[in-house]
Chains A and B, each alone.
Chain A
Amino acid sequence: MFAWIRTLASRTHALLSPRQVDQDFEHELETHLDLLTNENIRRGMAPEEARRNARIRLGGNTQLRETNRELRGLPLIETFLQDARFALRMLRKNPGFTAVAVLTLALGIGANTAIFSVVYAVLLKPLPYAQPDQLFNVFQAQPQEGVAVDGWSYQNFAVLRDQNHVFSELAGNQHHQLALTGRGEPTVVNTSVVTPELFSVFGEKPLAGRVFHSDDGKPGAPPVVILSENLWRGVLGADPNIIGSSIDLDKRSFTVVGIMPAGFRFPLLTETEQLWIPLVQDPLFGSWMPRRGGHWLTVTGRLKPGVSRQQAQTELDAISARLAKEFPAENNGWTIRMNPLQQDIVGDARSPLLVLLAAVGLVLLIACANIANLLLTRATSRAREIAVRATLGAGRARIVRQLLSESAVLGLLGGVAGIALAYWGVRGLSFLLPPSLPRINVIRVDNFVLGFALLLSAIASCAFGLAPALFAANANLQSSLREGGGRSGESRNSRHARSFLAAGEIALAMVLLVAAGLLLRSFSNLMSVSPGFDVQHIVKADISLPQFEYSKPQQWIAFSDEFLTSLQSQPGMQDSAIAVPRPIADGCANIGFEIVGSPPPSAGVSRTADFVSVSPNYFHVMKIPLLSGRLFDHRDILSSPRVTVISKEMARLYFPNQDPLGKQLFFGFAYDAGVAHEIVGIVGDVRDESLGKNPGPMMYVPYDQAPLWGANVVVKSTMNASNVAAAIRGQVQKIDKDLPVTDVAKMPDILDASLDQPRFRTLLLGLFAAMALVLAATGIFGVISYSVSRRTNEIGIRVALGASRKTILGIILRETLLLTTAGLAVGLPCALAASHLLGHLLFNVSSNDPATLAAVAFCLLGVAGMAGYIPARRAMRVDPMVALRYE
């Protein structure tokens, strides 16, 4: 080890002060020569002869020095530095070439690095917990019913936790929002409702105080809470005496026992301000703990070291069999599955990001092809220089090495510029990235990403440097030397390589353009799709009722009635309604139902529909049309017979060829279960889950018959949103001054935000396709203008023999179109294959949409034609006299 270091040190010394070392060696050799000569003279040789003999016995002077240098220094690095210096000189001498090549490369590497930084942060970077690969989500699934992922009831979770031997810790969690009062303005805080094991699953230590222990999770334990560092510093003003003091959540006092460091976020990964309470203390979920039915608890566990996923699954299968045997009513048909936590967090963000990464990779490939083409052109004009080098004794490997060093220097310059671009690009991306993207907060250009960029530029320099280097080294020495000046002949292979590269660029550009075109069409379809309701001038706001104080449905109804009446009496606020959940804004609540008098569905088929509880004028406010029957009115209250209004899709799906009006449905929540609801009306379909999903079956119920502990309000008003918010706040606080009003937003903005992800990918892919188009056009331009300059002579002769300008233009354009068509022919099947992979990201457009394909082909032909026209015009202007004299 030490010897190795010493060798390196001495070699580096020689590298750093080569003159000194050379001089020393020179001295040594001279002394040696003198001594040997003297000896020879002593033996009786004539001085001349003695010296000659001494030289012979010592060996060739130059050769000795070379060997010595090679031994002492770092020859590879030395030659590389020499080559690099030379390369820099060459690049400085051709500023135009250098600028184009470095810029092209910087764009390619910059874009790749920026996208990779997102991919790395979202998909690859290990989760910020100890041994993250041991963390798994464990869930229940009902494969026959098509339920792939579902949660647990607390009772089932307790069985899993207590009976398994493969997880070192298992914890359940849920989350919602609770009102924090008694500390300034009432606010709503994101609350994680967890079993006490959560913190030991992650092996996380508190910043202050303690984490939960198992006693905190037992019924009857005093209510405790753990705060996130940011919540403590923000809303609670970094109160130093917070541990042991109490805060009010939904009007109930909780003792603060700990603060978690800002870096710890779970299960709410994007919220910096949050708090944790034990499941048993939660006003909603706590009351569900004794039930075995239901699937509402998300379970995360840490595998014991050395336990394989296979072993764990075997144990989970055994437990699910036991559950099904002991509690068949709740567990028949259910299995237990597990997924790596990271995979679950990434979710469906994965495939769009990979698509973008692939797209930006193609852009770099095109950029490399472009630079390779430039280098080939240059290598051809440098054929003489290389031939001279070869004649002077440079080996083929040495020449390839020199040319590769030049590519490496170019690659390095491009890489550095690209990294600078990437920093800027990541900043730009942070404005574009949809906030719903998981782990968005960790996106940055870090060392790993920098390493990727450098590796990329190394690979790129090899990619664009190798072919020209090999061609150049292969060149025929004699013909290169014999040819005059800079216009030496180009080998047929090299010409073919250049055409091949240009056609390849067209093919790659086609793939990108088709992908971008399809995304663009599908995005414009998304933008123009009717959601089934009218969002103009609609503002939404949330009011949540503290569940300890407002615990009975009657209280919820009383609150909402009083609130709506007083709100509607305000000027400009007549069109107000309550709906839970609201389409797009709140997502959807899909529940099962049965049709009275109709046989139960066959096994494996379940009847479900999206459930919405609305106040009577909701349909009017949202402009959802009534198709037949009636809407809700003031008669539909808790004490009157249950009614429901269904959507057109529900009528079509479950009542084909019959009139659903008057039919009865069984569905509802706990206090309402098993009560028949009569269908009194049919309304238009609504896209409630997302704009990209076709409307599913929906059933509406009157809010007064199915109230909830909050009021999700929609107001249609021409006043601006802040005035609407102020009006809502005023009316709420008239009823209860401790009720927070949150999440005020305009509905059009919410619809818009729901398209963030498709907009993001469409925009980026469009950008990459545009880059590809420009690069491919420059590629074509380069090849054609080089071909024109090479054929100046031929064109001159043709003109002299009477060819018209039109003929010349035709010749050049034909060459252009031939290249482009070849590219398109190769690109078409590639584009079809690529867009097939894109299928699941498309909306209302087929992946082999002929219009898009045709438009892209025409666009490429047009752009290539223009790129070829510029050199073609130069060819038309060729003066035969000049062209011939030039020879």
Chain B
Amino acid sequence: MAGEKSEILQGTLDLMVMKTLASMGPLHGYGIARRIEQISEEALQINQGTIYASLVRLMQKGWISGAWGISDNNRKAKFYSITKTGRKQLSAEARNWERISGVIGRVLRIAERG
């Protein structure tokens, strides 16, 4: 897997996990990891294990919930889905993210010009 890899900012993984669950419905850990990689067109390559830390954090905050199910390969797997408070949180955090990334973009442009 060559190509440009980017480090994931602390906290952004949680946001991506929630967004993924919001748009895709219930998924297991592997599904979430794959989906994030696909969407980022393999630009972001995550250490897939870190997904699980993110999932624990989100569960503890009550923003996602988990239930045991059967995966495509007929194995026991935990399926995660976003909760109502999770959705609220997602839209708030997404707005926040857009604002910040907008600011950062502007700062970077100023820096380039200067």
Contact = CB atoms under 8 A, between A and B. Distances in A.
Given A57-B48, A67-B53, A68-B52, A31 B77 contact: yes
A30 B50 CA distance: 15
Contacts of B47: 57-59
B61 A28 contact: no
- Interface-central residue, A28, A34, A39, by most chain B CB under 10 Å: A28
A10 B60 CA distance: 7
Nearest to A33: B30
Interface in B42-89: 47-50, 52-53, 56-57, 59-62, 71-73, 75-78
Given A32-B30, A59-B48, A38 B61 contact: no
B35 interface: no
Contacts of B59: 10
12 contacts: A2-B62, A7-B61, A10-B60, A28-B52, A31-B73, A32-B29, A35-B72, A36-B30, A39-B34, A59-B47, A71-B56, A72-B56
A11 interface: yes
B73 A28 contact: no
A32 B52 CA distance: 11
- Interface-central residue, A10, A38, A59, by most chain B CB under 10 Å: A59
A840 interface: no
7 nearest A-B pairs in the assembled complex, by CB-CB distance: A59-B49, A7-B60, A35-B30, A31-B77, A31-B75, A32-B30, A64-B49
Contacts of B52: 25, 28-29, 64, 68
Contact of A6 (B34, B53, B61): B61
Contacts, number: 70
B49 A11 contact: no
A71 B54 CA distance: 10
A3 B71 contact: no
Contacts of B56: 68, 71-72
Interface in A259-310: none
A35 B28 CA distance: 11
A27 interface: yes
Interface residues of A, number: 29
B45 to A, nearest CB: 8
- Interface-central residue, A7, A29, A39, A71, by most chain B CB under 10 Å: A71
A31 B49 contact: no
A29 B76 CA distance: 10
B48 A58 contact: yes
Contacts of B78: 24, 27-28
Interface string A1-15: 011001100110000
Contacts of B53: 67-68, 71
Contacts of A30: 75
Contacts of A57: 47-48
Given A6-B62, A68-B52, 8 more contacts: A6-B60, A27-B76, A27-B78, A31-B30, A31-B73, A36-B48, A59-B48, A64-B49
B77 A3 contact: no
Interface of A: 2-3, 6-7, 10-11, 24-25, 27-32, 34-36, 38-39, 57-60, 63-64, 67-68, 71-72
B34 to A, nearest CB: 8
Given A11-B60, A68-B56, A32 B48 contact: yes
- Interface-central residue, B52, B62, B72, by most chain A CB under 10 Å: B52
Given A30-B75, A31-B76, A35-B72, A3 B62 contact: yes
A58 B34 CA distance: 12
Nearest to B34: A39
A29 to B, nearest CB: 8
A204 to B, nearest CB: 51
A68 B29 CA distance: 14
B7 to A, nearest CB: 15
A71 B57 contact: yes
Given A35-B71, A59-B48, A59-B49, A3 B29 contact: no
- Interface-central residue, A30, A31, A57, by most chain B CB under 10 Å: A31
A34 B49 contact: no
A34 B48 contact: no
- Interface-central residue, B50, B53, B72, by most chain A CB under 10 Å: B53
A7 B76 CA distance: 25
Interface in B1-52: 28-30, 33-34, 47-50, 52
Contacts of B29: 28, 31-32
Nearest to A7: B60
A31 B48 contact: no
Contacts of A32: 28-30, 33, 48, 77
A217 B88 CA distance: 70
Contacts of B33: 32
B31 to A, nearest CB: 8
Nearest to B78: A28
Contacts of A68: 52-53, 56
A58 B73 CA distance: 18
Contacts of A59: 47-50
A24 to B, nearest CB: 7
Contacts of B60: 3, 6-7, 10-11, 71
A28 B49 contact: no
A34 B50 contact: no
B28 A31 contact: yes
Nearest to B28: A31
Contacts of A60: 49
Given A35-B71, A57-B48, A68-B52, A28 B77 contact: yes
Contacts of B71: 31, 35
B37 to A, nearest CB: 10
Contact of B61 (A3, A27, A29, A63): A3
Contacts of A63: 49
Contacts of B73: 31, 34-35, 38
Nearest to B46: A57
Nearest to B70: A31
Nearest to B51: A32
Contacts of A35: 30, 71-73
Contacts of B76: 27, 31
A3 B86 CA distance: 12
Contacts of B30: 31-32, 35-36
B89 to A, nearest CB: 10
Nearest to B52: A68
A71 B73 CA distance: 29
A54 to B, nearest CB: 9
Nearest to A8: B60
